[in-house]
Structure 1
Amino acid sequence: MTQDWSRFFEARQCVSARRGRGRTDDLVLMVHDEPDGSTLTVWNAAEGAGRRVLGEYGDPRNAVLTADGRAVLNLLDDNGSEVGHVWSLPVDGSPATDLTPGLTPFTLRGIDVAREGTYAVLTAVTADGFALWLIGTGDERRPPRRLFSSQAEAWNGLISADGRWACLDTTDHNPGIRRFAVTVVPAGGDTPDGPEQGAPEGGTAPRTLSDGPAEPVRGIRFSPVAGDDRILVATERTGFIRPCLWHFPDGSRTDLDASHLHGDLVPLDWSDDARYVLLVHVDRGVHHVMEWNVRTGALDPLVHPSGAFFEADIADAHPNYWASHYGADGQPRLLHQRFDLPLSMLRADRAAHTVTPVWTPALVHPGTPLTSHTVTSLDGTTVQLWAGRPRGTREPLPTLLSVHGGPQLVTVDRYTPEAQAWLENGFAYAAVNYRGSQTFGRRYREGFWHTIGERELEDLAASVEWLVAEGIADKDKVFVSGASYGGYLSLLSVGRLPGLFAGAMAFVPMADWAGAYDDMNPALRAAWRSFFRITPDEDPGVFRRASPISYVEHVRAPVWIKTGTHDTRTPPRQVHRYAEALENAGGDVTLEWFSGGHETTSRNAELADQRRIMELAARALRGERWADGAVTPPPPGSVGTGPGGG
């Protein structure tokens, strides 16, 4: 096995950059990849200088800056459990402050900061439901004030530039179905406690933008101009995402239909003067950056290199893992990556039609790009697939098929050191955007609903068939790997499609839906009730049919699993039950534990995992077993195991 592949991990220096909301400086909160874990830096774009954030700050990708740039707001939890409180963490390392001390520990599903003043909103999920809270971020400590609550799923709370209004994505019009509307509530002023269900404190009726039960609407951001009562939202009246400006006081709206474009046209940001909206048109997985001139209505393409410019997220604090945005000068600041190029920041000049680097990584090692392809699934559905092979090779190769999580996430053309490591070691590499993936339209995104696992397996099988037919993959040497829902599909595929894969490597996977349900955090239980349209108590057979544990007798390929002790999305007990059942059925299974939640904790850990799975693939190709010992149960204190573990 080639050892030099680790250089690709060292080259990944920045994984996200989120601009602060404040007016005073053009500050960007950058997440840097370090050997022992991610770190935060406040980068001043005007000065080109950064300041390291000191202390503990939770998952750095969820953090936001206060309006004055002096502190970071984020959820602090128990060892990655995603259940805790939001704290204010001064950039200079001064003592942190719990901003939600009286609240039941919650899962964070949205956080946003007003451009003026000292207010923020957060969306919290507990066993009691979903709630939008107003919190103070200044030196004076105000108790959190509840603005909205509901038993129906609600996410993505936002606050207006002046702090007078807040909104969130709600499903009260469509309970149990993840098709949102945008609901606005007043946020400013003193009002009594004790709101009615679904109403803000003070009794003012919410104002809601809904396009009906079948066509979701989601909030992107309030106008950056104080007193401008418009919200940039994403609609799907055509079946694809389109931007819309909604003036909520009178209900008027301005939609950009862009009927000449096929595919999603995703709004990312709104310029500080509210004149331009930054968009990305996604054409079969390929990104094209555009701008909407709000005053003239013109839609213009921007000059840019090939690659990805945002990555959609789901079930987290922000709609995107990372995204291009506007700088304080009003010009687009493009966050650019490619499978073989680490993240850099570029300034796009709309008048000069030029792109200029403003931040670049210190290390860039030559790698191998991947290209976008379309394959046809069993029922004729077109599926997008990224694929690449080592330079200079022509023969069919051992291949790694990567399966993203979510399921409503997406694999974009972003820097992926894991892909480069496989390619460096003589493997072909592919990544499939199966049905359930974002940015391919509503019908595709919802394609897995109520038939969990079925359509996705068809898409995986079609991808393997295409890779073999194209002479890229050796049909007997294809491995499958994924995290979370991708790990679930990896396990399900070796049970439901025995013989398709030579081995499965699953990170933090779901393996037993019914067994996991009670150990999940409340936000995840609500999501899966929506997708299954039922609970395990109401119809356990539906959950059994979707669970990899139901097919362990059919597994012929070796299986490796690594999962976290404090994971409340794919909890540890159900993973152990699957591994034990597969072992008892005579399967070749290895289960490894790490202390933490749903995410790998450091670059060193990722390097160790990559080394491990490539060694396992080499062993499989030599006909060797993977298991070196018996399956072990979750360590004491893990989620669901009793005292200290829930």
Structure 2
Amino acid sequence: MTRNWQRFFTAERPRAVRRGRGPGDRSLIVVESDEGPRLTLWDAERGTVRPLSELTSGDLAQAVLTSDGGQVLSLHDDNGSEVGHVHATRLDGGASRDLTPDLPPYTLRGMDVAARADRAVITCAAEDGFSLWLLSTDGSAAPELLLRSTNEAWNGLISADAGLACVDTTDHNPGVRRFAVTVVDTATGAALGCLSDGPEAPVRGVRFSPVAGDDRILVATERTGFARPCVWHPTRGTRIDFDAPHVRGDLVPLDWSEDATRVLAVHVDGGIHRVMEADLESGELRLLDHPPGAYFEPDVADTHCHQWASHYGPGDTVRLLHQRFDSPLRVLHTGAPENLPGPELFPQQDLDGVRCRSSTIRSADGTSLQLWWARPRDAAGPVPLVLQLHGGPNLVTVDSYDPSAQAWLDNGVAYASLNYRGSVTFGRRFREGFMPAIGDRELEDIEAAVRWLVAEGVADPGKVFVTGASYGGFLSLLAVGRLPGLFAGALAHVPMADWLAGYEDMNPALRAACASFFGARPEDDVERFVRASPITYVADVVAPVWINQGTHDTRTAPHQVRRYVEALRAAGGKVVVDWYSGGHETSGRAKALSEQSRMLGLVHAQVSSDSHSNVK
């Protein structure tokens, strides 16, 4: 029987809904099209939906609306390199305008718009370090430097009236990614305060109060070892903490209500999401009624803290963004289902997918790990399996729609995705548990996951494949080198294969992160980088390898991939490389479908040619 697995890729679907900061209820919807991300403007007050077909350039997946709703801000780079300048593009047909023409090219690590002023802040990483800039979105003033540091500084935010800005800084603890929140006066650039919970517990900014004149900031703290909401009043030096001792796991703050009396948060326990609302006056924490699934997805190393996130609408409305492995993003208003945001644009389709289960397993040292997994429909006994490893490492796999997972399952291949040590939303100890011996703990977790899946009768021990992108691609290559015989093949997208060769070619933001993870730079301790590099173990690789690599990637640069491929071939290994013109991210449904078809062909060919067991 011919399977129509392509249906999981061909449906046009939203990737994110990002509400504008200004008056009214306008949102940018990021739509996954054949060619890549496209934008749609949703004006909920007027009940209109308008595809922004004239907006085709820039990093549209990270774009934001200006306060008047008349412009879109986005990073314009070279073919997905993630290095460029922020442009403002008018939605009335006007030309795109570079807002920072005199700055050297930079990587964006934060962008936020004032709700009631023509101002925005961007956080930049360049060769000279990290900086926070105040921009005039109407072109009336030149960019103003608010803060500069040689240490990591991310996630700049701006108050509703543009009087204050804040940024997550590491000046209090250089070289360690545990942030504090520093507030500056946008008129003078003077630092007004810094919220730090000490060297062990990071603090991250979420959003200034949406009420004009209210300079309080919603932040996430980790005084308990797990994320908790906190409201900080920097000019008064006061704070309200929601320690929630009865709640196990992270309680991640997402948004303020419009009147700044309530906070929306998601409780994550073992990877399962429960949406809650905190009342600032009573201190009450209330669980909202909603179906199982994911309600936000962290993206800690990009322009925004989350790829997509639930948020407040007007008045008392809670606008929940909901996904599952088998169900694309939709909007639920305070628990009442509502199509997003017009059936003519996003028809609700029954894709007949398979839901993933969540299980807790144990690593070699007893550490609890969360594993998503699913069998193909009507599977009888163990079958071939693909183990997916997310990137980051400080990211996480949530219960969100995954056409690749559904394609594997539709083709008789079991699927699993592991949240290994280094993943977020499992507390600080787990998030930092992979450092500084990069790869060691992750490989223990990966091996534990494979053995559990084999013992449970899900996976055929001789037909287990490993895949991932970025850091997940790195772990895929490292696994077939340091765990030879465990996998029947590796499918690595934009991997880091040689940390030493890749370090100097990284964009500055990634170089700083790399040094933080390793606890050193290559010149300080070269052996750490050698030990962590898949190229070190090419002589031990027995499984075939496929690598999918972008030519303009500044995170995992092409040069280090070429070195790995040459070394593996010289050692007698089997490796196939597919190059594409672009950066670190796959762009568009058509390319994703092509890559999935390629992987299916490689896996089916390997399964057909090799039936011996690899697990002893």
In 2, distance between residues paired with 1:66 and 1:272?
18
Compared with structure 1, are the counterparts of its residues 130 and 514 closer, same or farther at alpha carbon in structure 2 (3 Å cutoff)? same
3-state DSSP of counterpart to 1:622: helix
Q: Give 1:642's aligned residue.
A: none
Q: Structure 1, residues 365-424: CA drift from partner, whole Å, max 9, x if none?
A: 111000100110011000000000112223001001000000000000000010100000
Q: Which moved more, 1:85-94 or 1:595-604?
A: 85-94
* Residue type at the aligned position of 1:57: S
* Residue type at the aligned position of 1:571: A
Q: Give 2:141's aligned residue.
A: 142
Q: Which moved more, 1:3-12 or 1:420-429?
A: 3-12
Deviation at 1:307, TM superposition (A): 0.3
* Residue type at the aligned position of 1:591: V
Among residues 432, 457, 462, which one is paired with 1:446 in the alignment?
432
Q: Give 1:121's aligned residue.
A: 121
In 2, distance between residues paired with 1:221 and 1:251?
17
* Residue type at the aligned position of 1:464: V
Deviation at 1:93, TM superposition (A): 3.3
* Residue type at the aligned position of 1:212: G
Q: Any conservation in 2 of the 1:273–1:330 contact (CA below 8 Å)? A: no
Alignment of 1:324 onto 2:310 = yes
Q: Which moved more, 1:459-468 or 1:51-60?
A: 51-60
Deviation at 1:564, TM superposition (A): 0.5
Deviation at 1:358, TM superposition (A): 5.2
Deviation at 1:574, TM superposition (A): 0.0
Q: Give 1:260's aligned residue.
A: 246
Q: Which moved more, 1:266-275 or 1:85-94?
A: 85-94
* Residue type at the aligned position of 2:184: V
3-state DSSP of counterpart to 1:5: coil
Q: Give 1:34's aligned residue.
A: 33
Deviation at 1:356, TM superposition (A): 4.6
Q: Give 2:90's aligned residue.
A: 90
Q: Give 1:171's aligned residue.
A: 170
Q: Any conservation in 2 of the 1:64–1:73 contact (CA below 8 Å)? A: yes
* Residue type at the aligned position of 2:37: S
* Residue type at the aligned position of 1:35: D
3-state DSSP of counterpart to 2:562: helix
Q: Give 1:8's aligned residue.
A: 8
Compared with structure 1, are the counterparts of its residues 12 and 371 closer, same or farther at alpha carbon in structure 2 (3 Å cutoff)? farther
Compared with structure 1, are the counterparts of its residues 123 and 500 closer, same or farther at alpha carbon in structure 2 (3 Å cutoff)? same
In 2, distance between residues paired with 1:56 and 1:610?
25
Give 1:284-433 correspondences, 5 Å limit.
284-348=270-334, 354-357=336-339, 359=341, 361-362=346-347, 363-433=349-419
Q: Give 2:237's aligned residue.
A: 251
Deviation at 1:11, TM superposition (A): 2.9
Q: Structure 1, residues 474-501: CA drift from partner, whole Å, max 9, x if none?
A: 0110000000000000000000000110
Deviation at 1:439, TM superposition (A): 0.3
Q: Give 2:609's aligned residue.
A: 623
Compared with structure 1, are the counterparts of its residues 335 and 239 closer, same or farther at alpha carbon in structure 2 (3 Å cutoff)? same
* Aligned residues: CA RMSD: 1.3
In 2, distance between residues paired with 1:103 and 1:56?
23
Q: Give 2:216's aligned residue.
A: 230
Q: Give 2:198's aligned residue.
A: 212
* Residue type at the aligned position of 1:345: V
Deviation at 1:46, TM superposition (A): 2.5
Q: Structure 2: any 5+ residue segments left out of the alignment?
A: 612-616
Alignment TM-score, normalising by the size of structure 1: 0.92
Give 1:541-620 correspondences, 5 Å limit.
541-620=527-606
Alignment of 1:50 onto 2:49 = yes
Q: Structure 1: any 5+ residue segments left out of the alignment?
A: 192-199, 626-646
Alignment of 1:63 onto 2:63 = yes
* Residue type at the aligned position of 1:225: V
Q: Any conservation in 1 of the 2:26–2:43 contact (CA below 8 Å)? A: yes
3-state DSSP of counterpart to 1:491: helix
Deviation at 1:2, TM superposition (A): 4.3
Compared with structure 1, are the counterparts of its residues 622 and 292 closer, same or farther at alpha carbon in structure 2 (3 Å cutoff)? same
Among residues 493, 510, 520, which one is paired with 2:479 in the alignment?
493
Deviation at 1:329, TM superposition (A): 2.8
Alignment of 1:460 onto 2:459 = no
Q: Give 1:180's aligned residue.
A: 179
Compared with structure 1, are the counterparts of its residues 171 and 254 closer, same or farther at alpha carbon in structure 2 (3 Å cutoff)? same
In 2, distance between residues paired with 1:612 and 1:501?
18
In 2, distance between residues paired with 1:623 and 1:231?
59
Q: Structure 1, residues 209-236: CA drift from partner, whole Å, max 9, x if none?
A: 0000000000000000011121000000
Deviation at 1:330, TM superposition (A): 2.9
Give structure 1 regions of 4+ aligned residues with deviation exceeding 3 angstroms: 354-361
Compared with structure 1, are the counterparts of its residues 50 and 355 closer, same or farther at alpha carbon in structure 2 (3 Å cutoff)? closer
3-state DSSP of counterpart to 2:334: strand
Report sequence identity in percent.
58
Deviation at 1:12, TM superposition (A): 5.1
Q: Any conservation in 1 of the 2:39–2:55 contact (CA below 8 Å)? A: no
Q: How many residues get paired?
A: 606
Q: Any conservation in 1 of the 2:121–2:156 contact (CA below 8 Å)? A: yes
Q: Structure 1, residues 26-66: CA drift from partner, whole Å, max 9, x if none?
A: 01100111112221011112333211222333222210000
In 2, distance between residues paired with 1:205 and 1:552?
50
Deviation at 1:533, TM superposition (A): 1.1
Q: Any conservation in 1 of the 2:484–2:541 contact (CA below 8 Å)? A: yes
* Residue type at the aligned position of 1:393: A
Deviation at 1:9, TM superposition (A): 1.1
Q: Give 1:103's aligned residue.
A: 103
Q: Any conservation in 2 of the 1:55–1:93 contact (CA below 8 Å)? A: no
Q: Any conservation in 2 of the 1:133–1:147 contact (CA below 8 Å)? A: yes
* Residue type at the aligned position of 1:39: R
* Residue type at the aligned position of 2:476: S
* Residue type at the aligned position of 1:308: A
Deviation at 1:538, TM superposition (A): 1.8
Deviation at 1:161, TM superposition (A): 0.3
In 2, distance between residues paired with 1:554 and 1:252?
57
Deviation at 1:502, TM superposition (A): 0.4
3-state DSSP of counterpart to 2:191: coil
Q: Structure 1, residues 616-642: CA drift from partner, whole Å, max 9, x if none?
A: 0011012279xxxxxxxxxxxxxxxxx
* Residue type at the aligned position of 2:145: R
Q: Structure 1, residues 302-331: CA drift from partner, whole Å, max 9, x if none?
A: 010110000000210000000000112331
In 1, distance between residues paired with 2:551 and 2:240?
48
Compared with structure 1, are the counterparts of its residues 595 and 13 closer, same or farther at alpha carbon in structure 2 (3 Å cutoff)? same
3-state DSSP of counterpart to 2:609: coil
In 1, distance between residues paired with 2:297 and 2:157?
19
In 2, distance between residues paired with 1:48 and 1:372?
38
Deviation at 1:449, TM superposition (A): 1.2
* Residue type at the aligned position of 2:144: R
3-state DSSP of counterpart to 2:88: strand
